Chains A and B, each alone.
Chain A
């Protein structure tokens, strides 16, 4: 396909998409009105289930199966990147040289690390009460940990981040979500149905299954993102390529096509 044909095809598709998308949007409920057919039902259901954060109630209770699918996608993506970015046979590991860090950077990073980890833990723990939850807090925890790399160097990061532990925790979190779903089956209800005692509205222990699933997601996302970033960091900082890369001289040439 020549460039001209491709450009024409793109503009035709773009024009068709623009027209159909605009037409479809006119059929939506109006923006910013008081009438929300799905919203009012979701709010009623989440109040019935004693979950103060309606979004968490939708994510981890009313549509928990969707979230299970999303978490499996994240788990699969992390697993795939671990497999793709592993050290190839023709690559060497070389310890990176520590570089001097500006005192202000060190101070800021060392000061912010505990604060970020604390905020991340808070956001995970209060997922059923206030905005946030396992996913948001998990990503905060993972990024907060990497302030150790910004403030110090790679060796310090490796010490605060035992990779094998986090890889195992990733699997434990993903498995715990799946296993928690069986609580419903054991109680004679549907898979992932909220059958636990619901507790008092707006208390930390409320919402039945929601805080547990939320915690499992928090563990899975935090360790998943840590493992994911670790693979990229390994490649960027530690793994050395052979000199004649891609020139046909390497022994383990099968991996070249993957990049």
Chain B
């Protein structure tokens, strides 16, 4: 009886370590695009954790929302914010880099070319 319990305890501990590592990585990542990918990995680790503590319903929800929908919405938002207006004139004008902030000094429009 002790062996299955020990094995399951080991699995839970391993999943917990994975979750802590992924969550720390997500918190330390600064770029939102990379952060969304790390967030997706964190969602997967959380789903693993829920699976090994025998909560498959929650694991499925976590997998669907945490590792698919949320990163997708973050990615789409970043793309919208970084997109340049269509008929763009000379570089350096407009909210290309930081979105609605529009406080970029002239000449910093180079960031806007990232899509």
Contact = CB atoms under 8 A, between A and B. Distances in A.
Interface stretch (B20-28, B31-39, B85-93): B85-93
Contacts of B83: 236, 241
A56 B94 CA distance: 51
B95 interface: yes
A251 interface: no
Given A243-B87, A245-B94, A256-B100, A133 B73 contact: no
Contact of B68 (A139, A232, A235): A139
Interface string A233-250: 101100011111111000
B102 A247 contact: yes
A165 interface: no
A94 interface: yes
A143 B67 CA distance: 11
A175 interface: no
A107 B100 CA distance: 38
A186 B12 CA distance: 47
B77 A243 contact: no
B69 A240 contact: no
B85 A245 contact: yes
Nearest to A131: B56
A246 B96 CA distance: 12
B76 interface: yes
Nearest to A242: B85
B99 A136 contact: no
Contacts of A246: 95, 100, 102
Interface residues of B, number: 30
A229 interface: yes
A207 interface: no
B69 A123 contact: no
Nearest to A235: B80
A154 interface: no
B86 A240 contact: yes
Interface in B52-102: 56-57, 59-61, 64-65, 68-69, 72-73, 76-77, 79-80, 83, 85-89, 93-95, 99-100, 102
A136 B87 contact: no
Given A136-B61, A143-B64, A243-B87, A232 B73 contact: yes
A245 B95 contact: yes
B76 A259 contact: no
B68 to A, nearest CB: 5
Contacts of B99: 259
A92 B9 CA distance: 57
A135 B99 CA distance: 34
Nearest to B75: A236
B73 A132 contact: no
Given A243-B94, A246-B102, A259-B99, A135 B73 contact: no
Contacts of B77: 232, 236
A225 B60 contact: no
B86 A225 contact: no
Interface of A: 32, 53, 55-56, 92, 94, 123, 131-133, 135-136, 139-140, 142-143, 146, 225, 228-229, 232-233, 235-236, 240-247, 256, 259
Nearest 10 interchain pairs by C-beta? A131-B56, A139-B64, A136-B60, A232-B76, A236-B76, A55-B57, A236-B80, A236-B79, A246-B102, A243-B85
Given A232-B72, A236-B77, A243-B85, 16 more contacts: A92-B86, A131-B56, A132-B60, A142-B69, A229-B69, A232-B76, A235-B76, A235-B80, A236-B79, A240-B85, A241-B83, A241-B85, A243-B87, A245-B94, A246-B100, A246-B102
